[in-house]
Amino acid sequence: MRQALRRYLEGLDPYSTYLSPREYEAHKNSGKAGYSGVGMDVYREPSGALVCLPHPGSPAEKAGIHSGDRLVSVDGRQVAGLSLLAVGDLVRGPVGSRVSLVLRTPQGERRVRLQRRALDNTAVSHSRRPGLLLVRVLRFDSSTPDLLRQALAQAKRGDKLVIDLRSCRGGSLFAGVDAADLLLPLGKTIVTLRRREESKTYRSRQAPLKLEGPLFLWQDRYTASSAELMIAALVQNQVARSVGTVSFGKASTQKVFPLQDGSALVLTDGQLLAPDGHTWNHKGLRPSLPLPGENPGLAQYLAATTGPAPGPRVAACPGPGQRRGPGHLFEKGGPPARCLGHQLLRLPGHAPRQRPGRAGTDPGLCR
C-alpha cells in the first residue's frame, strides 16, 4: 500500500512523494549540525541515478569525489531503487568506521574507501583569499540568515565578497527570503509565491548590510531552489553579479502533510516567480558572467571574480519559442527546458517571517 501511494505521488511531479514514519523522522533530523559520515549530499535524477555533491573539505572531497559523480553502491549494496534516506543510512555510521563506495565517473567506475568522522554540518562557513572573502552556503535553514550576516561582517575594506552557492540544493524557502533581505534596499521585490488560490509577493523589510566591496554569487548546474531565489533577487535588483553556469531550475514549493502513523505526504503546492515576474522552473538562471564547460573549476571562478567584468541582470533561461521584447529577459533559441528532479521537502522551522504553513527543501540525504 505504501509503495503504491509513493509511486502515485511521484508520478504527479518530480517533488511530490510519500515518506514512511522512519523516513520522515530521519528527514527531520538530517539537518542537525553534528553527524558522523563522509560529508556528501546526493540527489536523484529522473533516470534514477544518484548524483554526488561532496561538501568542501569533507572526507568525500578529499578522496577525490567530484560533484556530478554517480553513486553505484555502498559497501557492496547497489543503491538503484533505494530512497535517498535509505542510502543515507548506509553511508552514515560510527566515527572511525569505514565505508566503501563505488562511483561512476567520466573516467569509468572507481572504488573509494572512506573513514567516517564527526562532521560539522553548519549551514554557512567562510574563508579568505588575498583581497577576497569567500562565504560558502551549504543549505538554507533557520540558522542561515544570521550565520550569513556574521560571515559577511568579516569583510575588510577593499575586499571582494563571494557567496558560494555551488551545489547548494536549497532548503527553507523563507530562509532564502530572509537571507536575500539582508542585502537588498528597503522595499525591493525578493520573490512572489504563486499558489492556486492566491499570490504573495515578499519584499525587503530592512536597510541592507553595508558591504565593504562588490558582491558576487557563484552558481553551477546543481544550484537549486532557495539558492536560485537568492540569486534572482540580488542580481535582478542589481545588488550582485552571478558567476558560473546555468543553475538547476527548481522554482516550485512543497508542503508536508504529517499523518497520524508518523508518515507524511509531500505535495507540490506553489510556484516561485523572480522579481521580473518570470519563473525559472525547469529553465534555470543564466549567470551574469558565464563560465565555459559543464563543471568549471575553482580557478575559473576566481579568475572571473577577481577580474573586471560588466554586470548584466540574471535571466531565466529561455524556453522554446520565447522571444525577447521590451522589458523581457527571454529570447528565442535558448536551451530546452530541463529538470533533473530531486526530492525537495518543506519542513517546520522557526524564522523571523510569518510563514503560511511549512516551507523548505531537502538538500539531499547521504552525508
pLDDT tens track, the chain, 367 positions: 778 888 888 888 888 888 889 888 877 766 555 568 899 888 888 778 899 999 888 899 999 999 999 999 999 999 987 878 788 888 988 889 999 999 999 999 999 999 999 887 789 999 999 999 999 999 999 999 999 999 999 999 889 999 999 999 998 999 999 999 999 999 999 999 999 889 999 999 999 999 878 999 999 999 999 999 999 999 999 999 999 999 999 999 999 999 999 999 999 999 999 999 999 999 999 999 999 998 899 999 999 998 764 444 455 555 544 433 322 333 223 332 222 233 332 222 333 454 443 344 443 444 4
| Nearest residue to 217 via CA among 273, 176, 168, 161 | 161
Give yes or no: residues 60 and 23 share one domain.
no
Asked if 115 and 97 touch (Cβ cutoff 8 Å), the reply is yes
Q: Read off the DSSP letter of residue 128.
A: E
Give yes or no: residues 363 and 278 share one domain.
yes
Domain count for the chain, please give it.
2
CATH (domain of 88): 2.30.42.10
The torsion angles phi and psi of 133, rounded to 5 degrees, stand at -105, 120
pTM of the entire predicted model:
0.80
| Beta-carbon count within 10 A of 219 CB | 33
Give yes or no: residues 100 and 204 share one domain.
no
What is the pLDDT at residue 314? 52
Give yes or no: residues 195 and 256 share one domain.
yes
Q: Read off the DSSP letter of residue 305.
A: H
Grid cell 550569513 is found at: 148
Give yes or no: residues 204 and 114 share one domain.
no
What is the pLDDT at residue 324? 34
What is the CB-side half-sphere exposure of residue 357 using CA atoms within 13 A?
Answer: 17
Instruction: Look at phi and psi of residue 139 and say left if phi exceeds 0, alpha if psi is from -120 to 50, else beta.
Output: beta
- Which residue range(s) make up the domain with 325? 1-33+122-367
What is the pLDDT at residue 114? 94
Among residues 119, 142, 157, the one where a domain terminates is: 119
Q: Read off the DSSP letter of residue 347.
A: B
What is the pLDDT at residue 292? 94
